[in-house]
Structure 1
Amino acid sequence: MFALVFLIAGPQAANAQDAPVAEEQVDGIQDPAKADQASRGAKIYAEQCLSCHGENGRGGTDGYSDPLVGDASIGQLAEVIADTMPEEDPDLCVGEDAKAVAEYIYESFYSEAAQLRNRPPQTAFSRLTARQLQQSLADLYTHFYSSPWVENKRGLSASYFDSNRWDNKKLKVERIDPVIDFDFGRDAPVEGVDPKEFYIHWSGSLNIVHSGRYEIIVHSTCSMKLRLGHQDEVLINNHVQSEGKTEFRKTLNLLGGRQYPIYIDFTQRKRKTEQPPAEFSLRWVPPGGAEQVIPNDNLIPGGFPSSFALQTKLPPDDRSYGYDRGTRVDRGWDDAVTKAAFEFGTVAGKRLWPQYRRKHRGESDENRDRLRGFLTELATVAFRGELDESARQLYVDDQLEAAEDDQIAILRSCLLIIKSPRFLYPDTNTDRSPDRRVAATLSLILHDSLPSDQWLLTHIEKGNFKLDQPNAENRVRQIAQRLANDPRLGGKAMAMFFDWLDIDPTAEVTKDQDLYAGFDRKLTMQLRQSLQQQLQDIFWSEESDYRQLFLRNWNYTNADLAAFYGQAFEPKEPPGAGEMVPSMPNDEQTFGVLTHPMITSHLSYFETTSPIHRGVFLIRRVLGRTLRPPNEAFTPLDPDLHPDLTTRQRIELQTGEQSCQVCHQKINSLGFALENFDAVGRFRSIEKGSPIDASGSYVTRLDEYVEFQSAGDLARFLANNEDAQRAFVERAFEYFVKQPVAAFGPDTIDKLTRGFQESQLNMRALIVEIAVLVAMKESTEEMTHEAT
């Protein structure tokens, strides 16, 4: 037996299947020299490896049960074989023999290309994921209003009146307030207003970046009312003041990439008794966070269309492949969908039906024609295609016939529509036109949703896609580019970035307060905001340059972050209340997300850094390489056992054995490059009285050996390395499409990577190309099937 097991990939190794027999692969090689080498390698494998690793590397009954697959290069395989094969006599297979076996293994069943050849992946038939269900219902709702747009302004619009109500004649000031956190005391809020009696109206939208449960908190000493999501949807009401109560809380689920209209009425009334001080603060507790004034970046002065956020809790989806998949169907999921259907049906009757009636008030309502039109439109959008007569009868006519009460009829219809496979399983709608299928695919990939925008539906109705004519792909690309200029894409992209960076937005990061006083939940919330603003800024820039994720030399910062982190977070200009501003450029300490404290602190222990966690993150997430999980649970050496050793020295001591070095020489050499950043991400040059050694190395898939001396060297390498670029393309594809990239053809990843590089690594352009590629492939297959 031999130790090639250490170069086996992780969970995906279980997907490897039998390769063609050795003789067939050898005979298929045209070059006589290569054929001889392959034949030699096959023979040695049969004599020395077969008993442990099994035929075609599928695992042996007398040795290693895991299939022999992975992504080490031929050179790395040859090196391990020469050092360890076979276990009972490691000197038996060295030199040219080791190289021959490595080439045979690599070409036959070990490499990615061999795995794809032996068992081509296929797309999985799946339902909507939890996120897709939430987003689809949100867009089914907003279809009856209007589409969102990208808005760069921040803050809430404010109108100040010298009156206790809205009175245009008494309007004194209109402005945008960056955040809503005021203590007016007994003074006038603005000039020209009676401090004893005034009215303030704030309006705009709440900009949500991450999906989850938000606790909305209002502190108010005066009469107030807060509406959210719809101008008639009162979330908090203290219009008739409760004696002595000044704090009000409501918790609700909100969706990332969505903007919820918000309206606040704040009134100071004249009193016969002593006038109370006027205070008002709009705060929240975001998912996994601490209470804070809602930041400026989460407030938009423009009023977005009425929005809907599903409050029903949905079960988590399967993530065994590294991304959400809608493949799990059980009683819990079915019950949750039923509850979601009732919730949406209730809102549809309360909000959407009156909205539809107002738009169609001039039309005839004979035989409930308007309600029939409403339910038909609802089902048409939900099913992503026109209704045939049988569907119209089931989902609309039968429900109207069964219920004389309009609200009951709407509820019955919504229950059937939302629980229908036509809604939950987008691929089941095989009778749709190719145009509708393309639109549905683009919307699902880019927005996790369904086509609901009126301009897109108009394109479909007019047949503007023209998929059977030349330049169809360019027309689809133009549609995709417009869909990409949408905050819904931003919400999905932000979720992908946090997934790529392996950061749970709701997770709490805690550190030893004796060593890192001040690193608390409030500071980590500010770090999260700093990171997400950096990601948003890079993603939405004109270049949308992937390289800037590693090369940007400044952070978003505020006073608290500057006080804790010093030079790397020194503001370029004084930040306003609740604002993040750019820091001063820093070419020595700041390298995009790679050195952002949200990342480096997350990849550290309670008291010390963790080069191993950082190295595993870099090799798996950023470089897209595979690592086999350790055979035994890993317990780091207690720093107290070796008080004089630096972290690097302790790690080298613990992982110095040959069996460990097979993996750890790759892991450690990457993680050590970030040792200048301590457990909370602060820059340091000394540890335990010794200068930090941040040197490291990496061997590419092409066997190129690269050295670096610092985090800066590593950042520049990652920004321009094809392994990392290819890994980002694959992660983006699988996150947005929720299918394996290889299922769309063995050359798909190469084609997309080349296009990504040709676009100067434009991330938005990459996502558009992913959507276009999948949409065109599916529509072409459907048209071919119809023609056949």
Structure 2
Amino acid sequence: MCTRIGILLAATAIWIASWTPSHADSTAQPQAMTAPAAVEFLRDYCVDCHDGEGGEAGLDLGSLEKAEQIPLAIQKWNRVADRIADQQMPPIDSDAPSLDQRNAMVDWIRGTIHTAVCDDGVTPGGPMLRRLNRTEYANTVRDLLGIQLNAGHGLPSDGAGGEGFDNAAETLFISPIHAEKYLDAARAALTHAMSDPSDRKSILVSTPSANTSPRDAAEKVIAKFLPRAFRRPVSEQERGQYVDLFEQVYVEDPSFDLAIKFTLEAAMVSPKFLFLWEQPHDEPEPILVSDHELASRLSYFLWASMPDEELMRLADQGKLRDETVLADQIKRMLRSRMDDRGHRRNAKVRAFARSFVEQWLGTRALGREFQPNEAVVGKLNSELLGGMKYEPVFFMEDLLAENRSLLNWIDSDFTYANTSLARHYGVDGTFREQPKYIELPADSHRGGVLGMGAVLAVSSYSHRTSPVLRGKWIMETLLGTAPPPPPPDVPDLEEVVAEDGEKLSLRQRLERHRADPTCASCHSVMDPLGFGLENYDVLGRWRTEVDGMEIDVSGTLPDGTTFAGVAGLKDQLMQRKDAFIRHFTRKMLGYALARQLTNEDQCVVEAISEKVVEDDYRAQTLVLEIVKSVPFQYKSGQEFPSNQDHNDGK
């Protein structure tokens, strides 16, 4: 039992250390470890168990003599660093280094790996080959046909992969049900488009007449439709295949509408439409993606949809890669007009903001997996639900369009609210059903993500708040430092009363809960963070007491730092703002590349983060630097570096 408790305590040490200000922010910096000191560390604390071919777990650490050996086995040394960091090595019952020694060793291993990987340059991923996810499919059909119909409504939902997003290539496979659903969706979408005179005219750019044969008309329709549907120039052979298909159908039933609709349906169930596909190449060296491939990468990153006419025109002209042109296009694509009522108008930017934000913050679960207990919190009407869900989406859209600082996520003097949400927050003013921009007073309890109702709801239980869940959410979502999993037999937080029969507060119950050493290791970190948010109830309403008891919102962090309430918690996050930016950059890069990031991608994350910090944390700088990066602009060949450890991932 003691050994298990010790391991649990040790497993959270590096996680706890993440709430100690980084060396870069500290005036007292520990001495950096040298290679000879690292070798001595291993000999003092590791080689008794891990030496030679017979080392425990097949691990030989006694042979390390110089830093140059580390990059030859990156995967192994990443594991070693992880074990030292979470105090699984050395074992609890053996001589152990100090926390400073332990951190210095971990920093040395990871720094050596980082230098080795990054100094060799970054190897991009392979040519993109992935299915459009349900959101991208719906948006693409909308923009291709000019219709306001959610064509992806009947498709199966997509699971998350990569860095936690549903556009990750590894999860976007095709199943038999997809094939059937895609055909149904294409038929419904084209029927809808053909029934609208304006949409019909934009699709059927030619029809049979006295001087135009059905084949000639079909050729003109197909010649315009296919490059837009396939998002690239189309060869004469490809066009000919669809013209031949049109003629086959037309011979059986001489109806131009029927034959051309069938032909366009065929194009919309083609892998060339359903997949983002890039031309592979056989050389070992990475090459730039083509201009049209870049246009698609850009549009599916920022719009979750197909390139528009301007992007296609620039790609046709070979101008899109010009840095000035690219920067101008990013500004154009992120532009979101705010009308005189404070409402934003850009459906494409909102689609990106919603897709990214709801998955990053977890607010997609609100009203779906997370349903508040009405007996406890009251009925959640649809307007309030919509206002809560769209607040962070409109907030993100605003940051992008206005090129604001990304630190507004930690604290801001504005937000977006509709009538119900404003009433929910106690904000005065004239509102409507659609959220609008509002400036917050200096003493507001809102501002930043920690004051948003949707976030506060999905980080709670359905019937009560949870400092544990909220603290865990802060660590994982804002800083990227997930806590270790709880032991399998962790006891539930039961209703506890004092010896005199008095009911205890949630905080007092949690304090008793973590009196058990098994629980204390994790709760000593998570609980203080969550306590800082206890003034918010399950739906994010402000409160000062629960069941007649005043709420204690003070918190003490593992390094001894104390704070009080959400304002103090924001101050603590601001002291760790660069860690937040690195994690936010990682999430957005993973979303942009639509895949799991590798060790080499982490070099890109670091470089982009530095650029963002230098430019006062501006949102558009982050987007531009991602688009300019090697993984976004290049694709690898068919051969890969001999040292596969460089692409181990984690």
Q: Shorter-chain TM-score: which interval?
A: 0.7 to 0.9
Query: Which residue does the alignment assign to 2:648?
Result: none
- Residue in 1 aligned with 2:184? 339
> Which deviations, in whole Å up to 9, do the C-alpha atoms of 1:52-78 show, x marking residues without a partner?
766389xxxxxxxxx997899999645
The 1:410–1:538 alpha-carbon spacing in structure 2 relative to 1, beyond 3 Å, is same
Match of 1:394 among 233, 238, 241: 241
Q: Please, which of 330, 333, 347 is the counterpart of residue 487 of structure 1?
A: 347
Q: How does 1:520-559 map to 2 (within 5 A)?
A: 520-522=380-382, 524-525=384-385, 527-528=387-388, 531-532=391-392, 535=395, 538-539=398-399, 542-553=402-413, 556=416
Count of aligned pairs: 569
The answer to whether the aligner puts 1:709 opposite 2:554 as a matched pair is: no
- Give 1:744 shift: 6.2
Cα deviation 1:470-522 (Å, max 9, x = unaligned):
xx333323223322225312221123222222112543765555654x45334
Distance 1:616 1:669, change over 3 A: same
Q: Post-superposition shift, 1:131?
A: 1.7
Distance 1:7 1:632, change over 3 A: same
Alpha-carbon distance in structure 1 between the residues aligned to 2:210 and 2:367: 49
Q: Tell me the equivalent position of 1:372.
A: 219
Aligned residue type for 1:488? K
Note if contact 1:756-1:765 (Cα within 8 Å) is conserved in structure 2: yes
Q: Return closer, same or farther for 1:68/1:336 CA change in 2, 3 Å cut-off.
A: farther
Residues 533 and 556 of structure 1 are in contact (CA less than 8 Å); yes or no, is this contact kept in structure 2? Answer: no
Structure 2 residue runs of 5 or longer lacking an equivalent are: 16-32, 62-75, 282-287, 336-345, 639-650
Aligned to 2:368: 507
Amino acid at match of 1:520: L
Q: 652-661 or 493-502: which moved more?
A: 652-661
1:94 aligns with 2:81: no
Can you list the C-alpha shifts for 1:248-287, whole angstroms capped at 9, x where unaligned?
A: xxxxxxxxxxxxxxxxxxxxxxxxxxxxxxxxxxxxxxxx
Q: 1:337 to 1:683 in 2, by over 3 A?
A: same
- Which of 585, 595, 604 aligns to 1:729? It is 585
SS in 2 for 1:386: coil
C-alpha change, 1:441 and 1:729, in structure 2 (3 Å) is same
Structure-2 change in CA distance of 1:323 and 1:561 (3 Å): closer
Q: Which amino acid aligns with 1:507?
A: R
Deviation at 1:442, TM superposition (A): 1.1
Assess, with a 3 A threshold, how the Cα gap between structure 1 residues 478 and 559 changes in structure 2: closer, same or farther.
closer
Deviation at 1:387, TM superposition (A): 1.8
Q: What is aligned with 1:464?
A: 319
Amino acid at match of 1:726: R
Q: Give 1:688 deviation, angstroms.
A: 5.8
What residue number does 2:151 align with? 310
Question: For residues 419 and 203 of structure 2, what CA distance do their matches in structure 1 show?
Answer: 49
* Structure 1 contact 379–417 (Cα < 8 Å) conserved: yes
Q: Which moved more, 1:355-364 or 1:624-633?
A: 355-364
TM-score, structure 2 normalization: 0.74
Once the two structures are TM-superposed, the CA of residue 599 in structure 1 deviates from its matched residue by 2.3
Cα distance change on mapping 1:634 and 1:68 into 2, 3 Å:
farther
Greater relative contact order, per chain length (Cα 8 Å cut-off, separation 6+): 2
Distance in 2 between residues matched to 1:692 and 1:522, nearest whole Å: 30
Structure 1 pair 740–675 and aligned structure 2 pair: CA distance change class (3 A): same
Structure 2 counterpart of 1:400, one-letter code = E
**Match runs of 1:9-20 below 5 Å:** none
Which residue of 523, 537, 545 maps to 1:664?
523
Q: 1:510 to 1:635 in 2, by over 3 A?
A: farther
Asked whether 1:134 is paired with 2:142, we answer no
Aligned equivalent of 1:251: none
- Who is 1:355 aligned against? 202
Question: Deviation per CA, 1:679-722, whole angstroms, max 9, x where unpaired?
Answer: 332333344665433233557xxxx8754322112123324521
How far the C-alpha of 1:551 sits from its partner, in A, is 1.7
Partner of residue 50, structure 2? 46
1:46 partner SS: coil
2:467 alignment counterpart: 611
**Higher CA-based Rg:** 1
1:718 is matched with which residue? 573
Distance 2:311 2:151 in 1: 24
SS in 2 for 1:399: helix
Report SS of the residue matched to 2:294.
helix
Task: Indicate the structure with greater strand content.
Answer: 1
| Counterpart selection for 1:426 from 260, 273, 276 | 276
Task: Tell me how far 1:771 sits from its aligned partner.
Answer: 3.0
Return the TM-score normalized by structure 1.
0.62
Q: Is the 8 A contact 1:608 1:678 kept in 2?
A: yes
Whichever residue aligns with residue 331 of structure 1, its letter is: P
For 1:185, the equivalent position in structure 2 comes to none
Residues 319-373 of structure 1 deviation map (CA, whole Å, 9 limit, x = unaligned): 1441113432221222222323333444455555543456899995245322211
The structure with the largest helix share of the pair is 2
Report the CA distance between 1:749 and its aligned residue: 0.4
2:41 is matched with: 37
Question: SS where residue 50 of structure 2 aligns?
Answer: helix
Give me the identity figure in percent: 19
Q: Deviations over 1:142-194 (max 9, x none)?
A: 3xxxxxxxxxxxxxxxxxxxxxxxxxxxxxxxxxxxxxxxxxxxxxxxxxxxx
Matches within 5 A, 1:60-79: 77=86
- Code of the aligned partner of 2:39: A
Equivalent of residue 692 in structure 1, options 551, 559, 567: 551
Q: Is the contact between residue 56 and residue 109 of structure 1 (CA under 8 Å) also seen in structure 2?
A: no
1:323 paired with 2:178, answer: no
Tell me, in whole angstroms, the C-alpha distance in 1 between the residues paired with 2:354 and 2:228.
Answer: 26
Q: 1:398 to 1:509 in 2, by over 3 A?
A: closer
* Counterpart residue number, 1:407: 257
Q: Which residue of 2 aligns with 1:750?
A: 606
For residues 440-464 of structure 1, the C-alpha deviation after alignment (integer angstroms, 9 at most, x for no partner) is 221121112222x222222233333
Q: Is the 8 A contact 2:471 2:529 kept in 1?
A: yes
